[in-house]
């Protein structure tokens, strides 16, 4: 019978060592678990912050009311898509008609394309414009709330259906009627100053409209045609014939699908494109109610030079009897009016820079001003006419837009506006022209392949 092994009795020292080892093992295990939890938590928080928390942070706060970073990013992508679409339309038009689009081209299409390309290549430019649009929207909505202006869901529904040219109660009949304009004829004094190229019984032709490129008043506010304009929706093209409710719903769904690719949901679609536009229109109708269809205007011409000594020399020549148009054609650096003898046409207040405007509106017909300095240079001005004139529809809308922009500027100066310091870190860089051209080339390649493919012949 085998002998049993004697039981080994552990000493206290041995037991203590075993206990220390167990404690060390537990500590290492806990530390490892803790590190894993911290890493997983950090990754999870990063994902949560990028997908949820950051998007909920305010990007702009106006008088305590905020718009989130998420809406800001959506609106930037929409604005970029609008610029990309416009650029591609101009590009295809230029290709079709052989228009030079190089950076040195002076064509209006090339200049517009260059500006769009510049904006798209500097994301903060579009981002800053969107911030201004959002701020203006908040100011407009706050004014509307304070003055009892309400846009209902039914109002938005009607705006949507109108934009898609869906009129369930019948196509509305236009109510606009042509406006008859009556301008004054030239006086004897004016005939002595200029040589008209039209019959004496007629008024100056509309080609004498002011060239606002001389000295436009700078404005930090956007025009109403911002990212909130419904014309940017590709599916909102007016249809030639009425269509059914199902057809309208299909077009509406297509528009939502298009903008969903840019991160915009239906609520944002209705708010940004329609609700904000309605609020802007209704507030504008109130704050610009005093804008009339006629305006005090001045008809003037000028000679623009770079320095005061040159301006003074020209001024003295004019006082000595030199012909104004001849000197303007020879010396003026305003390329828009040089070939017209410096003629600026008729313009109202708020069109030119303040020193130029103050001088022009204070002068008598025929009077020549001493050199006037603006940020554009030195001007010698001669007033050719000064009267209250009726406005065309375009001129009236421009006056309303300018008045609304002035109102918004004043509102901004008194509002408490807080802009997130990290907004520049969250400006989307897509959509972009590179992807647009790649998509265009891919589509063209697909069509080319389909055109050369022959149907398979069965034996």
Q: What is the mean pLDDT of the chain?
A: 83
Q: Report the predicted TM-score, pTM, of the whole model to 2 decimal places.
A: 0.70
Please count the CA atoms within 13 angstroms of the CA of 311 that sit on its side-chain side. Answer: 21
Residue 394 reports pLDDT greater than 60: yes
Give the residue among 188, 211, 186, 183 at the shortest CA–CA distance from 197: 186
Across 365-384, average pLDDT: 96
Percent of the chain whose pLDDT exceeds 70: 78
Q: Is 296 exposed, middle or buried (0-12, 13-18, 19+ CB in 10 A)?
A: exposed
Residue 320 reports pLDDT greater than 90: yes
Which of the two residues, 252 and 239, has the higher pLDDT score?
Answer: 252
Distance, in Å, from the CA atom of 333 to the CA atom of 50, rounded to the nearest integer, reads 53
Distance, in Å, from the CA atom of 81 to the CA atom of 254, rounded to the nearest integer, reads 16
**What is the structure's pLDDT at 444?**
73
234 alpha carbon, distance to own chain's centre: 17
Residue 80 reports pLDDT greater than 80: yes
User: Considering only 42-56, 80-94, 366-380, which range has the smallest mean pLDDT?
Assistant: 42-56
pLDDT tens digits for range 149-183? 999 999 999 999 999 999 988 777 766 555 555 66
How is residue 97 written in tokens? Answer: 């008609």
Phi–psi pair at 302, nearest 5 degrees:
-150, 165
Residue 199 reports pLDDT greater than 60: no
CATH 3.30.70.260 fits 294-390, yes or no: no
User: Considering only 50-54, 96-100, 257-261, 388-392, which range has the smallest mean pLDDT?
Assistant: 50-54
User: Considering only 14-18, 47-51, 63-67, 149-153, which range has the smallest mean pLDDT?
Assistant: 47-51
Residue 225 reports pLDDT greater than 60: no
**What is the structure's pLDDT at 25?**
83
Residue 50's pLDDT band (cuts 50, 70, 90): low
pLDDT tens digits for range 91-149? 999 988 888 887 677 778 888 999 999 999 999 999 999 999 999 999 999 999 999 99
Residue 216's pLDDT band (cuts 50, 70, 90): very low
**What is the structure's pLDDT at 228?**
39
pLDDT tens digits for range 256-300? 999 999 999 999 999 999 999 999 999 999 999 999 999 999 999
Count the Cβ atoms, other than its own, within 10 Å of residue 154: 8
Phi–psi pair at 67, nearest 5 degrees:
-120, 140
Inter-CA distances, 346 with 16, 118, 199, 352, 390, Å: 103, 33, 19, 11, 11
Distance, in Å, from the CA atom of 222 to the CA atom of 278, rounded to the nearest integer, reads 17
**What is the structure's pLDDT at 182?**
61
Residue 41's pLDDT band (cuts 50, 70, 90): confident
Residue 16's pLDDT band (cuts 50, 70, 90): confident
* C-beta of residue 337 within 8 angstroms of C-beta of residue 382: no
Residue 459 reports pLDDT greater than 50: no
Which of the two residues, 183 and 383, has the higher pLDDT score?
Answer: 383
**What is the structure's pLDDT at 242?**
60
* C-beta of residue 302 within 8 angstroms of C-beta of residue 382: yes
Residue 217 reports pLDDT greater than 50: no
Residue 231 reports pLDDT greater than 60: no
pLDDT tens digits for range 346-364? 999 888 999 999 999 999 9
């Amino acid at each position: 019978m085998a002998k049993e092994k004697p039981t080994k009795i552990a000493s206290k020292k041995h037991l203590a060592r075993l206990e220390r080892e167990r404690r060390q093992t537990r500590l290492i295990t806990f530390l490892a678990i803790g590190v894993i939890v911290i890493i997983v938590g950090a990754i999870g928080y990063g994902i949560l912050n990028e997908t949820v928390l950051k998007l909920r942070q305010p990007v702009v706060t106006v008088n305590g009311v905020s718009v989130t970073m998420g809406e800001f990013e959506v609106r930037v992508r929409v604005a970029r898509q609008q610029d990309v679409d416009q650029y591609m339309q101009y590009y295809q038009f230029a290709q079709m008609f052989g228009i030079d689009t190089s950076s040195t081209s002076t064509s209006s299409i090339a200049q517009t394309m260059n500006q769009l390309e510049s904006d798209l290549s500097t994301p903060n430019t579009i981002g800053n414009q969107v911030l201004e649009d959002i701020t203006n929207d908040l100011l407009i909505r706050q004014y509307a709330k304070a003055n009892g202006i309400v846009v209902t869901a039914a109002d938005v529904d009607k705006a949507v259906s109108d934009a898609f040219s869906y009129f369930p109660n019948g196509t509305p009949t236009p109510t606009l009627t042509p406006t008859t304009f009556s301008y004054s004829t030239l006086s004897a004094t004016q005939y002595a100053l200029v040589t008209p190229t039209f019959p004496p019984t007629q008024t100056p032709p509309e080609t004498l409209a002011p060239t606002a490129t001389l000295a436009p008043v700078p404005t930090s506010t956007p025009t109403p045609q911002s990212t909130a304009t419904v014309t940017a929706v590709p599916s909102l093209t007016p249809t030639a014939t009425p269509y059914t409710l199902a057809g309208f719903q299909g077009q509406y769904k297509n528009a939502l699908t298009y903008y969903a690719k840019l991160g915009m949901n239906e609520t944002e679609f209705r708010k940004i494109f329609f609700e904000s536009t309605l609020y802007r229109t209704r507030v504008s109708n109130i704050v610009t109610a005093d804008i009339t269809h006629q305006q005090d205007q001045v008809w003037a011409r000028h000679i623009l030079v770079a320095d005061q000594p040159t301006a003074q020399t020209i001024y003295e020549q004019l006082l000595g009897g030199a012909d104004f148009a001849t000197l303007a054609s020879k010396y003026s650096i305003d390329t828009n009016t040089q070939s017209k003898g410096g003629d600026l046409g008729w313009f109202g207040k708020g069109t030119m820079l303040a020193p130029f405007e103050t001088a022009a509106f204070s002068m008598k017909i025929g009077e020549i001003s001493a050199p006037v300095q603006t940020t554009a240079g030195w001007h010698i001005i001669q007033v050719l006419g000064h009267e209250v004139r009726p406005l065309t529809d375009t001129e009236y809308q421009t006056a309303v837009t300018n008045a609304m922009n002035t109102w918004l500027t004043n509102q901004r100066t008194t509002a408490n506006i807080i802009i997130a310091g990290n907004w520049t870190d969250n400006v989307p860089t897509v959509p972009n022209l590179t992807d647009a051209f790649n998509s265009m080339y891919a589509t063209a390649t697909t069509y080319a392949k389909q055109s050369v493919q022959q149907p398979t012949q069965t034996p």
